[in-house]
Structure 1
């Protein structure tokens, strides 16, 4: 899971985020993994950022790089979940058992895909975002 890094109350986090922003502004097209981004950052001790030493994957720097690299994907996923909630009733699931909730989620996703395909096949791509108007 990718969590957003919020630097409002931490100046070390703000510094990390600013450096990563500059790094991606200058070398964004050349970076394919968080490890490549780490190699391009200025070589400073993690303790200067207030980060305790541990595994690389647990550091704020690594998490902030991953968040930056996957930001464009996150927006798309959030859009799909928003549509699933609003058009298929996932915001108010009434099932109690986990299997029933899972079935509801899968069937909701299938319904959303079916509505999108129907809109595409009818040459009405604008209706992909409003499946209720397709019927």
Structure 2
């Protein structure tokens, strides 16, 4: 809406996303969670979970296919360029959302909400809570 204007300079934009790194002794695997809209847990989502489809994937709906595609290219670069991968890893350690006590408390409140809405079971809640205590 409004009057369209041509941009004369570059602009920075905030793009909320999560990049998770799962690491074993020999290998790292990155998973990207692009900007998404949270849906509701309908009967179809519950049915998918019975057959092993992850609940979180059923909950999140990507906001933009083109942005998701662009961000997935980032994963390819991270996996094939060890120097860039190290930079991303260092930035991730610095931005870790579970490093402060207050953040862990807020994460636990969110987990309680997910449990009360049926997204996670009591055992999943306990497992996540124990992981938060260890960090």
Normalization by structure 2: what TM-score?
0.24
Larger RCO (CA within 8 A; separation ≥ 6): 1
Is the helix fraction higher in 1 or 2? 1
Rg comparison, structure with higher value: 1
TM-score by length of 1: 0.24
